[in-house]
């Protein structure tokens, strides 16, 4: 058994070292010129430098034409390799800097694009967003097909058609291997869930787990070049070579038990006849604290035991400022 584990870890490391090295070759393909130009013209939108931070926050967006159909913030502790993924419903009601109140997925469609989306999400969560990764749906289909599909449990029959988007979803319930096209449809379906976006987010999180499990299999090592090539054609990012090299070296230490999934707390609702996802500010603050604790950068608050008042000491306490007025 020990021999198998050693072989597995060695294969794991080799795969990601290869991916890290290949990244240098494809970096120019993955650079978003629009993002670079936007930062030059709007320096106030430049992301904070992550070099001195223990936690690196990356906004991952699945792009459907202009708008971001999927938004996930990945928080990574580079010291202990713990990860938190926080899914944000696309209809979340927020203030987009310079534009006013709108749904959060509209930020990426403004002229400032990704940079504005990063700032909007950072304001919502009260954290710096250091990096972004944009993935097109067509690209995601291609990558999943290279992996040989992913195994997911479709919780219910999925039937939905939208000719305007050229979107036709017809999936039967049950455990099954989905090819790239069907996997993306599985991730995009939401109309049949009672809780709409929240149901879709659960499906997306299940798909992410299945994708990670498949990608990190030693069987994928021979496909490293093909995977990297496909990624370079469908991904845009501002990750630097040093960041990728760090992840490539340390990714072997990441275990699924160290990966936590969260969803922005809130409810669906209407304001001025417009449907939104209305986040709960108090619960969000609690969740962000929980995430910091889970990532190992904050200690849980200690519960203090309340002792019964000692009448003999009451005057002394009052004088010392500890007791009541």
> Long-range contacts for 197-202 (Cβ within 8 Å, ≥24 apart)?
197/89, 197/90, 197/91, 197/268, 197/277, 198/89, 198/263, 201/87, 201/89, 201/263, 202/263
The model's confidence at residue 224, banded by pLDDT at 50, 70 and 90, is: confident
Burial of 99 (C-beta count, 10 Å sphere; 0-12/13-18/19+): middle
Where residue 272 falls (left for φ over 0; alpha for ψ -120 to 50; beta otherwise) is left
Q: What is the pLDDT of residues 172-198, one digit of tens each?
A: 999 999 999 999 899 888 777 777 677
Q: What is the pLDDT of residues 115-168, one digit of tens each?
A: 999 999 999 999 999 999 888 888 888 989 999 999 999 988 999 888 877 788
β-pairing verdict for 259-263 and 150-154: unpaired
Q: What is the pLDDT of residues 72-109, one digit of tens each?
A: 899 999 888 888 999 999 899 999 999 999 999 999 99
Residue 296 structure tokens: 């190992």
Report the distance separating Cα 242 and Cα 248, nearest Å: 10
Give the mean pLDDT of the chain. Answer: 80
CATH code of the domain made up of 2-300: 3.40.630.190
The model's confidence at residue 28, banded by pLDDT at 50, 70 and 90, is: low
Task: State the average pLDDT over residues 209-234.
Answer: 79
What percentage of the chain exceeds 90 in pLDDT? 40
Domain map (residue ranges) of the chain: 2-300
Q: What is the pLDDT of residues 262-320, one digit of tens each?
A: 999 999 999 999 999 999 999 999 999 999 999 998 888 765 454 444 444 433 333 33
The angle that helices 180-188 and 197-215 make with each other, rounded to 10 degrees, is 150
């Amino acid at each position: 058994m020990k021999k198998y584990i050693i072989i597995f870890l060695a294969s794991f490391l080799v795969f990601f070292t290869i991916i890290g090295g290949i990244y240098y070759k494809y970096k120019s393909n993955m650079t978003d010129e629009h993002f670079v130009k936007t930062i030059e013209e709007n320096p106030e939108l430049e992301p904070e430098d992550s070099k001195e931070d223990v936690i690196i926050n990356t906004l991952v967006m699945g792009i459907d034409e202009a708008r971001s159909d999927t938004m996930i913030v990945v928080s990574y502790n580079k010291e202990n390799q713990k990860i938190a993924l926080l899914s944000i419903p696309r209809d979340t009601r927020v203030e987009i800097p310079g534009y006013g109140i709108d749904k959060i997925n509209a930020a990426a469609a403004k002229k400032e694009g990704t940079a504005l989306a990063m700032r909007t999400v950072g304001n919502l969560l009260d954290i710096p967003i250091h990096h972004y990764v944009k993935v097109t749906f067509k690209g995601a289909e291609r990558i999943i097909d290279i992996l040989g599909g992913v195994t997911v449990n479709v919780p219910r029959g999925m039937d939905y058609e939208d000719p305007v988007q050229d979107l036709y979803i017809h999936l039967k319930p049950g455990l099954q291997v989905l090819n790239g096209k069907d996997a993306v449809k599985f991730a995009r379906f939401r109309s049949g869930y009672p809780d709409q976006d929240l149901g879709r987010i659960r499906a997306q999180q299940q798909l992410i787990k299945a994708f990670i499990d498949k990608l990190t299999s030693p069987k994928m090592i021979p496909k490293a070049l093909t995977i990297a090539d496909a990624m370079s054609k469908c991904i845009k990012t501002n990750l630097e070579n040093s960041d990728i090299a760090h992840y490539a070296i340390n990714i072997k230490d990441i275990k699924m038990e160290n990966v936590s999934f969260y969803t922005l707390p809130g409810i669906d609702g209407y304001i001025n006849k417009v449907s939104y996802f209305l986040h709960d500010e108090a619960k969000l603050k609690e969740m962000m604290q929980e995430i910091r604790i889970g990532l190992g950068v904050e200690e849980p608050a200690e519960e203090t035991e309340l002792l019964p008042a000692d009448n003999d000491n009451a005057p002394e306490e009052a004088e010392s400022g500890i007791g009541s007025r």
